[in-house]
Amino acid sequence: MKSVITRFPPSPSGYLHVGGARTALFNWLYARHMQGKFVVRIEDTDTQRSTQASIDAIFEALEWLGIDWDEGPFFQSKRLAIYAEYLQKLIDTGRAYYCTCSPEAIEAMRQKATATGGKPKYDGTCRKKGLEQKEGAVIRFKSPLTGTTVMPDLVKGNIVFQNSELDDFIICRSDGMPTYNFAVVVDDITMEINTVIRGDDHVNNTPKQILLFLALNCELPDFAHVPMVLGQDRSRLSKRHGAMSVTAYRDMGFLPEAVNNYLVRLGWSYGDQEFFTPDELIAKFNLENIGRSPGIFDTEKMLAFNADHIKAASPSKLIPHLMPFLKAQESDIEKGPDLEKIIPTLSSRSKTLIEMAEGAQFYFAETIQYETKAAKKFLKEATNAPLAMLADELEKLDVFDEKHLENAFKNVMMQTGLKLGKIAQPVRVALTGTTVSPGIFEIIDVLGKKRVLQRLRQALAFIQNGKQT
Ligand code: GLU
């Protein structure tokens, strides 16, 4: 069996958007699944629109998603000599020709064709002229005038195109730059790409590419054209549907695993399984299960995937992703408590890493800032006694585990006649500043004796002074 070689060839005229990322993922996963190769090349022959900033942004996004490549990155702009060689092959075999028709002449042809109800096409004026290369000439491919071109597609089945619909399209511009359809074919041939997975917005380019493959006597790759990702209103995905750039999701506190999982599920399924680890995706991804209808992008759904991946991830896995958010909010994590202990108390409560970082903030605080409403309700004269008693009970403890903590609370309950809830809530405010937090025993366990006592005493002082110390 041939070894699978796939590719991802972005045009660097902007960031990596979610649709492009899904294409990259499909190609990467398929290569990994088949133990083949994955090639990255940058299609930067459009010098007007390509920028270094976009190239950097694309690499940054791929790296964040965990997509690595076996060959490349290749840059089309550095491969002009190879395209020239293949152009010459087509000229030499009579499959391409120089054309010197002026833009005005071409416009006139188009108008004439549309006026008579035809497609605006080049009329083949220079086809038989046998022109030599000269300044300002373009190179056109001699498309067959009759017959059909069949595109076999693993997702869509066979699509038949009438050759009469095509014209002698340009394969090299007058400035010597190859056009997309030509460069892509030469690249796919020379890089030995045998599986092309891409958005179905490229279906209409494919007959041209197939004709070029055939004219160059090369075997066609397998094509798999994937339905586009659409917004909820079923229009083409754009900024008004939310953030489009992959790294914007990183900055919003998404895990790459979650974004990968969600994007893959947007166009591929495996029974009704929703949650996949990266390894599972590699093990299970195939081309047969690519969907036939467009994926509808829904940020809320992606958020749910993120929550599930946060919940499933080990603390050590989350730490590097969480760290930038902790730093951004200036949490002083140096003195502890240990992040490995903090994270499990928050992971089932956080939809994003931003929420997790915010939720972790109180653990690191030197002094607790109380929410006004919470302090008013729970840090008052009536809670002075139970808090003071609890501080005394905890002070006595050498072992700070769940069993001993529960006993300490029980003792206070007995002495005061209060129910656990009546004690726990003031303690929560004392330890966190708010009324919503992870379980009280969990917090106490993570904070440790010294911090807990310090915070209880701060709360007692607050009750006595009636103000924040
Ligand atoms: N550079 C093209 C794009 O960004 C990809 C072409 C292809 O996959 O053949 O859409």
Number of CB atoms found within 10 A of residue 126's CB: 18
Residues forming the active site = 239
Ligand 1 atom closest to Cα of 8? 8
| Residue to substitute in 38, 45, 184 for testing ligand 1 pocket (most ligand atoms within 8 angstroms of CB) | 184
Q: Please name which of 208, 59, 63 lies closest in space to residue 141, comparing C-alpha atoms.
A: 208
Handedness of CA 319, 321, 322, 326 (dihedral sign): positive
Beta strands in 183-338 (DSSP E): 195-199, 222-226, 229-230, 295-296
DSSP bridge pairs for 151: 159
| Residue to substitute in 30, 43, 74 for testing ligand 1 pocket (most ligand atoms within 8 angstroms of CB) | 43
Ligand 1 centroid–CA 66 distance in Å is 20
Ligand 1 centroid–CA 11 distance in Å is 7
Distance in angstroms (rounded) separating the CA atoms of residues 73 and 410: 65
Answer yes or no: is the C-beta of 43 below 6 A from any ligand 1 atom: yes
Pairing relationship of beta strands 295-296 and 71-75 according to DSSP bridges: unpaired
Answer yes or no: is the C-beta of 187 below 6 A from any ligand 1 atom: no
Tokens of residue 367, six digits: 């002094």
Ligand 1 centroid–CA 230 distance in Å is 18
Find the length of the chain: 469
Distance in angstroms (rounded) separating the CA atoms of residues 444 and 252: 30
446 vs 58, 224, 362, 421, CA distance in Å? 40, 51, 11, 20
Q: What is the dihedral of CA 413, 416, 419, 423, to 10 degrees?
A: -80
Answer yes or no: is the C-beta of 184 below 6 A from any ligand 1 atom: yes
Chain segment 216-226, per-residue pLDDT in tens:
999 999 999 99
pLDDT at 131 (0 to 100): 95
pLDDT at 241 (0 to 100): 83
Q: Is 95 exposed, middle or buried (0-12, 13-18, 19+ CB in 10 A)?
A: middle
Distance in angstroms (rounded) separating the CA atoms of residues 74 and 244: 25
Of 33-42, 84-93, 106-115, 380-389, minimum mean pLDDT range: 106-115
Number of CB atoms found within 10 A of residue 217's CB: 9
Answer yes or no: is the C-beta of 426 below 6 A from any ligand 1 atom: no
pLDDT band at residue 467 using 50, 70 and 90 as cut-offs: low
Asked, as a colleague might, if the bond just before 386 is cis with ω within 30 of 0, I would say no
Mean pLDDT score of the chain:
95
Q: Is 72 helix (H, G, I), strand (E, B) or coil?
A: strand
Ligand 1 centroid–CA 459 distance in Å is 62
Provide CB contacts within 8 A for 67, sequence distance 6+.
Answer: 8, 24, 25, 28, 38
pLDDT at 193 (0 to 100): 98
Chain segment 309-348, per-residue pLDDT in tens:
999 999 999 999 999 999 999 989 999 899 999 999 999 9
| Residue 402 scores a pLDDT above 90 | no
Q: Is 15 helix (H, G, I), strand (E, B) or coil?
A: coil
Distance in angstroms (rounded) separating the CA atoms of residues 436 and 10: 46
Ligand 1 atom closest to Cα of 20? 4
> DSSP states of 322-342 as a string?
HHHHHHHTT---TT---HHHH
Chain segment 140-190, per-residue pLDDT in tens:
999 999 999 999 999 999 999 999 999 999 999 999 999 999 999 999 999
Ligand 1 centroid–CA 9 distance in Å is 5
Mean pLDDT of 410-431: 96
pLDDT at 458 (0 to 100): 97
Q: Please name which of 39, 416, 310, 316 lies closest in space to residue 190, comparing C-alpha atoms.
A: 39
DSSP class of residue 437 equals -
Answer yes or no: is the C-beta of 308 below 6 A from any ligand 1 atom: no
pLDDT at 239 (0 to 100): 80
Burial 114-123 (b: 16+ CB within 10 A, else e): eeeeeeebbb
- Which residue has the least CA distance to atom 9 on ligand 1? 184
Pairing relationship of beta strands 222-226 and 195-199 according to DSSP bridges: parallel
Q: Which comes out higher in pLDDT, residue 393 or 469?
A: 393
Answer yes or no: is the C-beta of 19 below 6 A from any ligand 1 atom: no
Q: Is 187 helix (H, G, I), strand (E, B) or coil?
A: helix
pLDDT at 242 (0 to 100): 79
Q: What is the dihedral of CA 439, 445, 447, 449, to 10 degrees?
A: 130
Q: Is 101 helix (H, G, I), strand (E, B) or coil?
A: coil
Mean pLDDT of 196-202: 97
Distance in angstroms (rounded) separating the CA atoms of residues 202 and 161: 14
| Residue to substitute in 7, 17, 30, 198 for testing ligand 1 pocket (most ligand atoms within 8 angstroms of CB) | 198
Q: Please name which of 6, 459, 66 lies closest in space to residue 194, comparing C-alpha atoms.
A: 6
- Asked whether the beta carbons of 299 and 254 are under 8 A apart, the reply is no
Mean pLDDT of 28-54: 96
Mean pLDDT of 419-440: 96
Handedness of CA 102, 107, 112, 117 (dihedral sign): positive
Q: Which comes out higher in pLDDT, residue 118 or 299?
A: 299
Distance in angstroms (rounded) separating the CA atoms of residues 356 and 344: 10
Q: Please name which of 147, 154, 139, 117 lies closest in space to residue 207, comparing C-alpha atoms.
A: 147
| Residue 469 scores a pLDDT above 70 | no
Ligand 1 centroid–CA 43 distance in Å is 8
| pTM metric for this prediction | 0.94
CA angle 343, 347, 349 (to 5 degrees): 125
Chain segment 232-271, per-residue pLDDT in tens:
999 988 888 878 899 999 999 999 999 999 999 999 999 9
